[in-house]
Structures are given as C-alpha cells and as structure tokens.
C-alpha cells in the first residue's frame, strides 16, 4: 500500500529543550495509528508538525503527497494545499458558537474548497447522520454536550474529505459516557478503512482494539512500533515495558 505519511529524522526543539529527536515513521493509506506514551514524550508536537501547526528544525516530512520544509511558518501560503488534504481534531472543539451544527460542518468546504452550498449541505447532513447527530443540524454548539460537540468537530474535519485525519487526544476533556460516544465514531471510521488516522490517545482499550499499529513515544522518539498485541503484550524496548506497566 502507498505511504501517505513519510517522516525521516524529524527534529524539533523549544529553545534548549529537544522535543523530537530524529523521528522516523511511515504510514500507509487506510491505517489507524495510535500514538501512546508518557506525557511530554513528543506525541502532540509530532502531530502538530504533521499538520504544519508547529514548524520543525530539521529532517524531512511528506504527508498526503505534500512535502513540508523545515522552519516553515504555520501561516505560510505553502501549507494551504496541506490544509485541504489533512484534517485535525483537537482536545477542544473550536466550533463557531454563532453558527448552527450544520453551518459549522459546511463552512470549510464552501469557503476553502468553493464547493456549491447545496452539495456541501448534503455531505454535511450525511456526515452528521454518520456521527449520530442528524437530528441536531439546526442546534447551536452551546446546546450540545461535550461528546456531541466533539462528534461535530470530527464531522467538520471529514467534510473536507481529508486524505489523513489527525486527532490529538480527542476524548481527554470528556466524561466516560461522552468518551464512549466519540470512540464509537472513531472505531467506525477505522473499520471502514477509508480514512488514514493518527490518534494521540490515553485510551488503551481503543488503541488495542482498533489501531493497525501502536507507536510508543518516549523522550522525543518512537521507541516501539508494531501491531497492538505485540506492542502491548510483548514490547521489545525497556521504555515501552515501563510505560505499559505503569498504565495498568
């Protein structure tokens, strides 16, 4: 299968502190990668580098066929093609409070891709049905629960038909019931095999049951990479073993 993410020797520092220390990684189309590991290991920074939200210092990065150069500012015009092909879902929902759920999902396709409003609306309604919110199209975000808002955020990202979807701890701000709602949507996406996803998560049951591969990040490197059963039950690295012992 073709690689949609290719990373070689990625280095990122904040001042004197090294955050990513020469990360090498490759993701094939349709894979779901769970990024796990201790806090401060570099997971979220890595994800933000993939979407150009954080610049990196050295190395090479190509995602969805688009190369990103070191030191590229997040507002660079060179990143506009990437914004159309790579979606991002954050811990916070970042929905526009003055727009309805349907309008939030339609906005980017109409404004960025110049889709016809009628086709953008039809796709938005279909996606909201897919995430279980077809009956809330006219609601404002303030009237939704946290889990519902995060599902709208996922539908909004999918509305741009991204080749790669990046999710940075999408359930961390939710209570257990709401987490279950969002994880069910992600399971459906993963099983469809149509969306390549990289998910930073602390939900080990999700990582084990849904991911194609698990990457364990520690001190700015991927210290373990493999299928869930191997990584979780028989990790090869001492750092990965220590992480899974502490996580149980």
What domains can be seen in the chain, in order of their start residue? 1-72+164-236 (3.40.50.300), 93-161 (no CATH)
Burial call 35-63: b when 16+ CB within 10 Å, e when fewer: bbbbeebbbbbbbbbbbbbbbbeebebbb
β-bridge pairing 58-63 and 3-14:
antiparallel
Tokens of 116: 């016809």
pLDDT tens for 90-123 read 888 889 999 999 999 999 999 988 999 999 999 9
- Rounded to whole angstroms, the Cα distance separating 65 from 78 reads 13
In the predicted model, what is the mean pLDDT of the chain? 93
Model-level pTM?
Answer: 0.93
pLDDT tens for 148-175 read 999 999 999 999 999 999 999 988 878 8
pLDDT tens for 42-67 read 999 999 999 999 999 999 999 999 99
């Amino acid at each position: 299968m073709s690689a949609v993410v290719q990373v070689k020797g990625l280095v990122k520092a904040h001042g004197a502190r090294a955050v990513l220390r020469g990360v090498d990684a490759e993701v094939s189309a349709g894979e779901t990668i769970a990024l796990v590991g201790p806090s401060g290991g570099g997971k979220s920074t890595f994800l933000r580098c993939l979407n150009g939200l954080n610049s990196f210092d050295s190395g090479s990065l190509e995602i969805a066929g688009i190369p990103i150069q070191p030191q590229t500012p997040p507002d660079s015009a060179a990143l506009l093609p990437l914004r159309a092909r790579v979606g991002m879902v954050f811990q916070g929902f970042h929905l526009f409070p003055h727009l309805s759920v349907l309008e939030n999902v339609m906005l980017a396709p109409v404004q960025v891709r110049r889709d016809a409003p009628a086709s953008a609306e039809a796709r938005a309604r279909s996606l909201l049905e897919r995430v279980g919110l077809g009956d809330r199209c006219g609601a404002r975000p303030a009237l939704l629960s946290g889990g519902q808002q995060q599902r709208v955020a996922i539908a909004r990202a999918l509305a741009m038909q991204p080749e790669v979807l990046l999710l940075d701890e999408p359930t961390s701000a939710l209570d257990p019931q709401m987490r279950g709602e969002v994880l069910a949507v992600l399971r459906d996406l993963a099983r469809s095999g149509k969306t390549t996803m990289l998910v930073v998560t602390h939900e080990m049951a999700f990582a084990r049951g849904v991911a194609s591969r698990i990457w364990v990040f520690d001190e700015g490197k991927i210290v373990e990479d493999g299928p869930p059963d191997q990584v979780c039950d028989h990790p090869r690295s001492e750092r990965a073993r220590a992480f899974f012992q502490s996580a149980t």
